[in-house]
Each structure stands twice: as structure tokens, then as C-alpha cells.
Amino acid sequence: MTRETSARALWLINGLTLLAAVIFLSPVLYSIWMSFQTSDAYYSGGVDFTLRNYDVAVGQYNFARYLLNSVIVSGIVTLLGISFATMAAFAFARFEFPGGNLMFGAVVATLMIPSHITLIPNYLTLARAGMLDSYAGLILPAISSGFAAFFLRQYIRGIPRALDEAAYMDGATPLKVLWRVIVPISKPAIFSMALQLFIAEWNNYIWPLVAISESDLFTLQIGLARLYRVNPGEDVIDWPLVMAASTITILPVLLGFVLVERHLVRGITMGAVK
């Protein structure tokens, strides 16, 4: 293949990639553009730029509070979930103990249980504990992830045991080996799984809908769903206002993706480079 042919092939690939990116992003870009239009301009087909929709969503419909609730709940769930999953994965990958294989099989089996089946048991348990309508009620049912433990266990098993043994010979405890040897090497997998846990909790709609009735504890997903019903009985929905609220909902996730994108790609491709 000549240099000219290679250059044309590269331009073609870049062009197709750019076209695919525009197609995939077009709904998001259109939603963001719509959020800056007045309702009258949107329904008349005109253009009238305004920031009022964001002011109304944050001030009148309390989306600043919903955003804070989502950040608190998703952040704590991610921190606790990835911590417990890493410790469980380390134990399953490095230690042999009676019933270890059976316990790991039970963890894997939880991946086949639909999440909706646990709604009623979780609701009854937290109701008896008096934890409904609280941050604890939103957080506790989500801090264990069988998939995260399984994923990290498989990654840790690929780390040479000689590194652990060298640390033990220097007097390290298992907790120090985990923190100073395993965690630094496993950063791509940990960041990748943490982002997935954060996105899953950020988009969680069913459990907050069941567990929370106090409006001050609503998450963004509940607030966004209720925004459709602010004017019951009216046929016209203020779509620019809804799109402004939707933009507030997706921006933190996009920001988080940008911050850990490098680690996420390494985590996804790590199996191919071993």
C-alpha cells in the first residue's frame, strides 16, 4: 500500500468516526440546545435564547437539592461498594479457607438474580429498622455488588503472587499488602468498576421511588420524572424546561467519565494486553 493510499484510508476512517460520533451525540446536543430555548419559541419553530429554564429548574423545582442528594448517595455508594468489593476480591483471590469456593459461587450466583426481586425484602427490612425516608435507606441496599467482586477477583488473580510474598517477607500484614501492592496495580480495574457503580446508582430510579416519600430526599431521577406532572391536566409539556433538568442530570456523569476516561479504557482493554 502506497503512502497516498494509506493517507486516503486514514481520512476515510477519521471521517466515518466523526460521522458516527455526530449521529450518537445528536440527541444529546439537540436536548442541550432545546434547554436554552423559550417554550414559545420551541413550539412556534423560532429561536429565542434564554437561561430561564435552568433558573426555574434549580430555583422553583428544587433541582439543586436533588443534585446534592444524587451526589451524596451515588458518591457514598461508590466509595463503600468499591471498598467492600476490593477486599472481598482480595480474599477470594489470595486466600484459601473452608467454604471459600462455595462462598464465591454464591457471590457469582447473585448476578443471576433480577434486582426487582429484592425490592420487597429490602423495603420490609428497612421499614422495620426505621430507615425509610433517609440517606441510609437509599445507600445500604446498594453497597454490595457481586459483579464488582467477581471482576476484581479475576484481575487480582492475574497479579504475580511473588509481589505478595516479597511484601510478607518484609513484615507486611495482609491489609498492607492489599493497600500498598494490590490496589496500586489494580487501579485501572478499580476505576473502571467504580465508574460503573457510580453510573448505575446515579441512574437508579426504582429503589428511590419506593424508599423515599420526603421531597427533600428526592434524587435527580425522581425529580425529573415528577417534572412531567407539574401541570396535570394540561396537554402541553414545557419540553425546554424538562430538557434543562435533563441536562443538569447528565452533566455530572459526563464530567466523571472525562475524569476517569483514561483508567476506564485501560480497565476495559486490560484483558487484551495481558
Answer yes or no: is pLDDT of 255 > 90: no
Longest dimension (CA), the chain: 75
In the structure grid, which three cell numbers stand for residue 100, read together?
Answer: 471459600
pLDDT tens column, 160-192: 999 988 999 988 899 999 999 999 999 888 988
pLDDT tens column, 119-157: 899 999 999 999 999 999 999 999 988 999 999 999 999
The pair phi, psi for residue 37, each rounded to 5°, is: -105, 150
pLDDT of residue 272: 45
76-215 adopts what CATH topology? MetI-like fold (1.10.3720)
Residue labelled with grid coordinates 448517595:
73
Answer yes or no: is pLDDT of 236 > 90: no
Rounded CA separation 238/243 (Å):
9
In terms of Cβ atoms closer than 10 Å to its own Cβ (0-12, 13-18, 19+), residue 66 is buried
Q: Sketch the domain layout of the chain as residue ranges.
A: 28-61+229-273, 76-215
pTM over 0.75: yes
